[in-house]
Chain A
């Protein structure tokens, strides 16, 4: 038994606990910023008390919460890249140019997440006579997560995971995006552990695949309740023809 804490340590401990009145809380924060030793006391107490979180029950955040975070982060990264001189735009001009809002007025933020999908995608519908297409779906700059091939002659699509894409308690839903004016169409749920082959009749016209891009979104178990992506787009990729 070491007896009672001294006043400074008690201030740090109660700051972490959260019981201080607002004025004392502000005082503790000022002290933390001024004095590294006090900041260490706060860190120590945080390490002691924070594991309580592990016992608090999970609550699923709303599906669009990730999109808000992603949008805020993208805005910040953009403004960092621009030397902090230009205002953060949550709605890039391109988004307005592609009459994108037609199919999703309610999910404005969810739409922003899909934006990247369109930027490279919509240009790529030149009438090439190939019969095989490939898309590599990834998340941003990361390594490939899914490899998708389409055989237009057999009108089949095959998609297989090439990375760990497990999403416990959630569903991974595959979408095809025809062009900017057409809502994404669900191709169903993916199994993160094995390849899936699907018929893809409607998307093939005159031997050519009428799809600009594919995307995989994170959805509640059972899939999107709305028929449009409701969760974050985890993986996406443009479609490229393969020369035969």
Chain B
């Protein structure tokens, strides 16, 4: 992306129907969104379909973006992430997106979220990171893996080898703590 153009500026132009701005927005953001989506759906061909769906939704809803609600990239990624989650949930009924035996795809890192790179992230992301780090290990792992890999309760049960009740209560506790932490 060029210096003269910001993502909010591009989103504004896209909201006004500017197709070339849309193309530049895509060029500037598609690798980030594809990274988010492919991590959740686990397959590149499926991710490509979700990516297309996501950018068409961005075209439709660019006018809904509000700077006070967060960064443009977080807003766009939220659209992609939600669509990836819907796709992952839908596909899972019939076909495993990960291992043939149905076990969730595991990241190589032992610690959930160890491969995330927060260094270049914006202020909202750094605050989220700080709050995630302040959680106890169980809730933190559940929430980070759900956020990044798109795991359901059941997948977290397998991944963490913990009872369903424990996973559910970790998530509830973690989300409650996160809300308090982010409100400060």
Contacts and interface: CB of A to CB of B under 8 A. Distances in A.
B182 A58 contact: no
Contacts of B183: 2
B171 A52 contact: no
Contacts, number: 197
A48 B113 CA distance: 17
Interface string B107-130: 000000101111011101101110
A20 B55 CA distance: 25
B11 to A, nearest CB: 15
Contacts of B35: 56-59
B111 to A, nearest CB: 14
Interface stretch (A99-107, A138-146, A181-189, A199-207): A138-146
A87 B44 CA distance: 29
Interface string A1-22: 1111100001001101111111
Contacts of A65: 30, 34, 48, 51-52
A242 interface: no
B152 A61 contact: no
B118 A55 contact: yes
Interface string B63-105: 0000001110111011011100110011001000000000000
Nearest to A48: B182
B179 A61 contact: no
A9 B160 CA distance: 25
A68 interface: yes
B44 A54 contact: no
Given A48-B178, A72-B56, A18 B146 contact: yes
A73 B59 CA distance: 9
A6 B77 CA distance: 27
Contacts of A53: 32-33, 36, 73-74, 77-78, 80-81
B36 A72 contact: no
Given A43-B69, A62-B44, A51 B128 contact: yes
A10 B175 contact: yes
B62 interface: no
Contacts of A22: 89-90, 93
Contacts of A56: 32, 35-36, 39, 116, 148
Contacts of B39: 56, 59
Which 8 pairs of residues, A with B, have the shortest CB-CB distance? A53-B77, A139-B20, A51-B125, A164-B2, A142-B20, A58-B31, A54-B121, A166-B2
Interface of B: 1-5, 18-23, 26-27, 30-36, 38-40, 44, 47-48, 51-52, 55-56, 59, 69-71, 73-75, 77-78, 80-82, 85-86, 89-90, 93, 113, 115-118, 120-122, 124-125, 127-129, 142-144, 146-148, 150-154, 156, 171-173, 175-176, 178-180, 182-183
Given A17-B146, A54-B77, A54-B120, 9 more contacts: A4-B172, A49-B147, A50-B77, A50-B78, A52-B144, A55-B113, A55-B117, A68-B48, A140-B18
